[in-house]
Amino acid sequence: MPVTFSLLTPAEIVFGRGRIAELNERASKLGSRALIVHGSSPGRLSAVFESLTAVDIVQTLSVGKEPDLDTLTSAIEEGKSLGVDLVLGIGGGSVMDSAKVLAAMLPAQTGLMSHLEVVGDGLPLSGRRLPLILIPTTSGTGAEVTRNAVIDIPQAQRKVSLRDKELLPDLALVDPALTDNCPRHVTLHSGLDAVTQVIEPYLSSRANLFTDMLCREAIPKGLMALKQLMEGESAQARDALAQLSLFGGLALANSGLGVVHGIAGPLGGLCGAPHGAICGALLPAGIAANRDHVVNADQKARIDQVIGWIAEVFETSAEQALPRFREWIIQSGLPGLESLGVTEEQIVAASQAAASSSSMKANPVELSTATVETVMRQSF
């Protein structure tokens, strides 16, 4: 049977320590009136902002959590009036998702709800977005190379996606130095999200040669880097984790995710906990559920391979790999879903909502609502 797959990537990816020095020149070639989206504590990025002498910064937006509909709608209205012609997102996943939405919607004639999944009409974007540069400052979501943006809809108690290939940026600039000395708990949460985003695409029913090449290297290397960073700061480990995050974004954009993200989307909308923390708490039980229910021999072999990598990193047997992994996650500072404020009612609601999640459609095996509930209870 012939090999067949398609790829979606940004126009250009630049990776490496010190590459942030190229931002000013590259931005000047894409626009002149910039909107900068950044995190809630932009102080450590002041040197980056000061270097942007070739463009006028006419609008800024501070994003401290997943963007919500009202905040984005207000920013879109302001940006239209200011004549923004370039959007830069520099921060974590929520920052970059916000930048994607703004780049897409500033030139649009339609409203944001027309294009949202689940709660909106889910229509494709009707025109070309503004030029867009994405620069991660955490190693987690890989949002700089994905074609979706997660938006919080408080009224519906859901986090849903704007999804379109137009959200892929003109430039994804990944400089691992921007993640140096990231707070330990942020490193843990975002790092576990990054690990999940190479494991799930590797186990996905849509995995292909391209994503396999990315994930095979990234899974053991990324696990080891995250383990090292929990023991102390290391530039080498930061570089490896940044690479893991980038590879995970590329992989998920081209082969999908699975049960962990299928749960994390609706559960995050219900409890408001950080996305990476939810993924990290769910990951061991999610792998175990797939291993217990999968029938296809090739997919079972892949799951066993992942478990083997985990066993190697945490120096234990394959039988003890997932319990040891969960123990390490707890010892590192993420006790479980209960510590994130998840309630019994939210577990029931999230298990029902997970069935309609786009991430769940790529899981290697169909899991019942009861099994999804069990994954959450085992992660409590």
Report pLDDT for 2.
Answer: 64
Query: How far apart are alpha carbons 374 and 203 in whole angstroms?
Result: 20
Prediction pTM value: 0.93
Q: Where are the beta strands (DSSP E) in the chain?
A: 13-15, 33-39, 56-63, 86-91, 132-136, 148-153, 158-163, 171-174
**Contact present, 282 and 262 (Cβ < 8 Å):** no
pLDDT tier at 334 (50, 70, 90 boundaries)?
A: very high
**Contact present, 88 and 35 (Cβ < 8 Å):** yes
User: What SS3 class is residue 348?
Assistant: helix
Strands 56-63 and 158-163: unpaired
Report pLDDT for 59.
Answer: 94
Q: Where is average pLDDT lowest: 21-30, 80-89, 156-165, 171-180?
A: 156-165
Q: Compute how many other C-beta atoms are within 10 angstroms of the C-beta atom of residue 173.
A: 25
Question: Tokens at residue 148, please?
Answer: 């979706």
Report pLDDT for 14.
Answer: 97
**Whether the predicted pLDDT of 252 surpasses 80:** yes
Question: Which residue intervals of 34-147 are DSSP H helices?
Answer: 46-51, 69-82, 93-105
User: pLDDT higher for 120 or 169?
Assistant: 169
Any idea which fold 12-178 has?
Rossmann fold (3.40.50)
User: Domain segments of the chain: what residues?
Assistant: 12-178, 183-379
Any idea which fold 183-379 has?
Dehydroquinate synthase-like, alpha domain (1.20.1090)
Question: Tokens at residue 297, please?
Answer: 């021999």
Question: Tokens at residue 268, please?
Answer: 């995050």
Report pLDDT for 161.
Answer: 85
User: pLDDT higher for 120 or 321?
Assistant: 321
Question: Tokens at residue 300, please?
Answer: 């079972």
* pLDDT, average across residues 297-318: 97
Report pLDDT for 365.
Answer: 96
Report pLDDT for 303.
Answer: 98
